[in-house]
Amino acid sequence: MEDAYARSVSEVLDFFEVDSTKGLTDTQVSQHARLYGKNVLPEEERTPFWKLVFKQFDDLLVKILIAAAVVSFVLALINGETGLTAFLEPSVILLILAANAAVGVITETNAEKALEELRAYQADIATVLRNGCFSILPATELVPGDVVEVSVGSKIPADMRMIEMLSDQLRVDQAILTGESSSVEKDLESTMATNAVYQDKTNILFSGTVVVAGRARAVVIGVGANTAMGNIRDSMMQTDDEVTPLKKKLDEFGTFLAKVIAGICVLVWIVNIGHFRDPSHGGFLRGAIHYFKIAVALAVAAIPEGLPAVVTTCLALGTKRMARLNAIVRSLPSVETLGCTTVICSDKTGTLTTNMMSVSKICVVNSVQHGPAVAEFGVSGTTYAPEGFIFDSSGIQLEFPAQLPCLLHIAMCSALCNESLLQYNPDKGNYEKIGESTEVALRVLAEKVGLPGFDSMPSALNMLSKHERASYCNHYWENQFKKVSVLEFSRDRKMMSVLCSHKQMEIMFSKGAPESVISRCTNILCNSDGSTVPLTATLRTELESRFHSFAGKETLRCLALALKIMPNGQQILSIDDEKDLTFIGLVGMLDPPREEVRNAMLSCMTAGIRVIVVTGDNKSTAESVCRKIGAFDHLVDFVGCSYTAAEFEELPAMQQTVALRRMALFTRVEPSHKRMLVEALQNQNEVVAMTGDGVNDAPALKKADIGIAMGSGTAVAKSASDMVLADDNFATIVAAVAEGRAIYNNTKQFIRYMISSNIGEVVCIFVAAVLGIPDTLAPVQLLWVNLVTDGLPATAIGFNKQDSDVMKAKPRKVGEAVVTGWLFFRYLVIGAYVGLATVAGFIWWFVYAETGPKLLYAELMNFDTCSTRETTYPCSIFEDRHPSTVSMTVLVVVEMFNALNNLSENQSLLVIPPWSNLWLVASIILTMLLHILVLYVPPLSTLFSVTPLSWAEWTVILYLSFPVIIIDEVLKFFSRNSYGIRFNFRFRRFDALPKKELRDK
């Protein structure tokens, strides 16, 4: 029954044909069970494990690598090769792919946990009326039409319509649905609001919420998937995880690279068709297989096998740094997504505010004879910690507040007319509430006022342990006054009273809604001298004016406090006693903004990131909080920037699009509205970060480009998110965005480094094949270079320092390619030099080296006909391991110099020297030590087909390698000047990572 909130009690009961005094019969239960189903959230279909595994290999680069590994394995078998050397390359490739697949499977398995944890919020049992008798049944057996009784502490087992109130009031904590900390008062009246949201449906009890006060009966109107919790589950099931911008660019790069690799491999094979019949191959077929092996080696050289591992490592390093900022990253790719975030949709309660009610204003009557009759005091401190001061209207701190009569009696009333507790949690290191937020705020106020009679009391209180300090003053008043009777809060009176006994004197303390309390007051307590004087009409008007100012303009939640001297010996309170009260004071409290939020939001604006505050609170309260934050000072008013969910939905499609571009505040929202907001922003090509803490936030967190859960939030929200804020603080998000931008810049640098290095390897093999000289590098040598010499420096580039102006730049566009135009030309030049230097080292050994054969260049080009003609040298020299060792070492050393080029995209090494990143220097040293180990340790040198080199050979290697620094310095110079910019303009259409529509909606 979807509109039960708009129907009367009798209409709902008639719909389900149930008698509220007897409940359903067994026959009706069976009928309703068949009609409406069970009260359980249906289990979602799990993706089979084998499908998850195969999904990880659904990538072009991965498929090419697998094909290369299989071909290498088959060719080794055809050639009759045996031992470790033959199968090393395919084995290493397959091991890398298996490791990457394992990480992917684990990530996807974790994503399904959010749906499982949703079931933890379902009630286990329910007190049900059936066949005229109450019984306790499993909540899963409930059917629509069942009459259920709930009381304090009960978890609501299904969506239910209130039918009977069994206490003065019923209050329910709906935080898991609305995100708002205050409990909601429920009633029996039907709601006529159009587009009613959860907060408007005051006669409905929602499944998973908890009763915090009162007792009532209700009739079940929805079970299982047809409940508020079921709607959230459905929304989460319909939400697909968004692919991160970096993943999209890497996927595009993979597709582009795959096409290029396939083309070059085919080209190399075709170019060498004329050499298939060369005698050295032993026949046309063997010649075709030989050059096919070269094509496979080319594929292995072109594909950066280490790229996934290096990206993962760099992101993991970022997560460590972010953990120190209190941002716990659950999904590695989300670290990078933060860098291009354009909109942050932030919860108000708990993120921008402390989620701790705090008294900020006090109003008392000072004197009826002198000066202004009414005085105001300010209270500092924004948390439940009993730390803060009281200031007079001119801003001067009161040294001993408890010496002022009204403040002293306010502290008494706050401590005694109170049923909540304040305690210190040593595990979390903070003060916590037990009970209603407003009452705990009064307890904290009592601690801030302090105790009378001791001049040294403020300093004495500071000497207490935190556990003792939590309620020291409250306990003092509770020991001084013995509670005799309590008159509970009711909806009719809107106040609460407590009768206390103190030294043979009975006093009643009252607190409640100002309009109720002030109307019952006939006297006032004066703060100047402690006298009690009659409450005049003028004073009453003045107090009501202050109350409306607190509640209206400042949107404070107000309570009035009063007392009354009762007859000696009275033991019971009645409603009739709540008259002729003496007014003590008026307190205004709020959920205060976090102090650091203002600067954090200003940082967002500087960085080009828009903030939209999203809350279930009402519009006026939310606008007031936003003004207090100060981040919306640039807005003259909120017209066109502030919308309730209902107002936004009523706008035509075109106006919604315009409204989204200006929106700064979105109020009275439900889970579906948050998800709708994320989708609408994404349709405008915004990269959206969404914060949340409740079960209600899970669908939006999952849908957003990056979902950010609060550390104090629900397990469901955390499981659906990409990142968790340990301190629930908006400022932490801004720090994380800066870190995300820095990580992307470093990621971009090492991707460029690996691309230029791999271009060098491709050029090396391609040039050797075109020139017709022997293979410069064996496949196993290429694999060593790709995995070790590429991987270590690339990872170290991730430690490049964060730019000082990282938060002054606008967010990068999602479609921005990693390597484009002029930049691609630069790395093509570098790559070409790397490849040519490698081939030059190979040719040098044969033609010029003192220890080499000193062949004519023509002899080297005709090496494959050596066995068919007379030569002055043995044909076995072409099997010598020296030339390929020189080539491999040139490739390694030139790539180390190239790594230094990547300390900065455009800055010279004279400006940013190598020691600015000591990790990179260390990785280069370690890489060279590993390479020397391979050259000079016999088992390894045999495995990699290399041999030790002489000092003369090392000298030539350095001469061939160092110019890569000079070439890149020249290219950087052009980049810093207009030549590079003009060149970039001419090349603007060329993109190494082709652009395409990024969002497939």
d(CA 512, CA 516): 7
pLDDT grade, residue 959 (50/70/90)? very high
Average pLDDT over residues 872-894: 87
- The pLDDT, as a whole number, for residue 804 is 62
d(CA 476, CA 474): 5
Fold entry, domain 376-586? Calcium-transporting ATPase, cytoplasmic domain N (3.40.1110)
Contact predicate 675/720, CB 8 Å:
no
Report the chain's mean pLDDT, rounded to a whole number: 81
Lowest-confidence range among 108-112, 222-226, 814-818? Answer: 108-112
Question: With 90 as the cut, is the pLDDT of residue 500 above it?
Answer: yes
Question: With 80 as the cut, is the pLDDT of residue 113 above it?
Answer: no
The CATH class of 327-353+594-728 is alpha beta
Q: Where are the domains of the chain?
A: 9-43+122-238, 254-306+751-978, 327-353+594-728, 376-586
Per cent of the chain over pLDDT 90 is 27
Question: With 80 as the cut, is the pLDDT of residue 188 above it?
Answer: yes
Amino acid at 528: S
d(CA 270, CA 586): 91
Per cent of the chain over pLDDT 70 is 79
Average pLDDT over residues 770-785: 78
Q: For residue 168, give both structure tokens.
A: 């003065």
Question: With 80 as the cut, is the pLDDT of residue 86 above it?
Answer: no
- The pLDDT, as a whole number, for residue 501 is 94
- The pLDDT, as a whole number, for residue 925 is 93
Annotate 920-964 with three-state secondary structure. Answer: HHHHHHHHHHHHHHHHHCHHHHHHCCCCCCCHHHHHHHHHHHCHH
d(CA 315, CA 307): 12
Q: For residue 957, give both structure tokens.
A: 């290697």
Average pLDDT over residues 690-718: 78
User: In sequence order, what are the residues at sequence separation of 6 or more whose Cβ sits closer than 8 angstroms to the Cβ of residue 254?
Assistant: 59, 60, 61
The string of pLDDT tens digits covering residues 888-908 is: 999 999 999 998 888 877 778
Catalytic residue among 59, 146, 159, 347: 347
> Dihedral of CA 740/745/749/751: which sign?
positive
Average pLDDT over residues 781-803: 74
- The pLDDT, as a whole number, for residue 111 is 40
pLDDT grade, residue 440 (50/70/90)? very high
Question: With 80 as the cut, is the pLDDT of residue 673 above it?
Answer: yes
Name the more confident of 770 and 467.
467
- The pLDDT, as a whole number, for residue 105 is 61
- The pLDDT, as a whole number, for residue 823 is 74
H-run or E-run covering 282: none
Instruction: Give this prediction's pTM.
Output: 0.63
Annotate 667-693 with three-state secondary structure. Answer: ECCCHHHHHHHHHHHHHCCCCEEEEEC
d(CA 783, CA 779): 6
In eight-state DSSP terms, residue 79 is T
d(CA 342, CA 816): 14
Question: With 70 as the cut, is the pLDDT of residue 22 above it?
Answer: yes
Fold entry, domain 9-43+122-238? 2.70.150
Residue 818 φ/ψ, nearest 5 degrees: -70, -40
Any catalytic annotation for residue 173? Answer: no
Please report, for residues 373, 494, 546, the alpha-carbon distance to residue 540 in angstroms, rounded to integers and kept in the order given.
11, 19, 10
Query: According to CATH, what is the number of the domain 254-306+751-978?
Result: 1.20.1110.10
- The pLDDT, as a whole number, for residue 116 is 47
Lowest-confidence range among 15-24, 317-326, 355-364, 923-932? Answer: 317-326
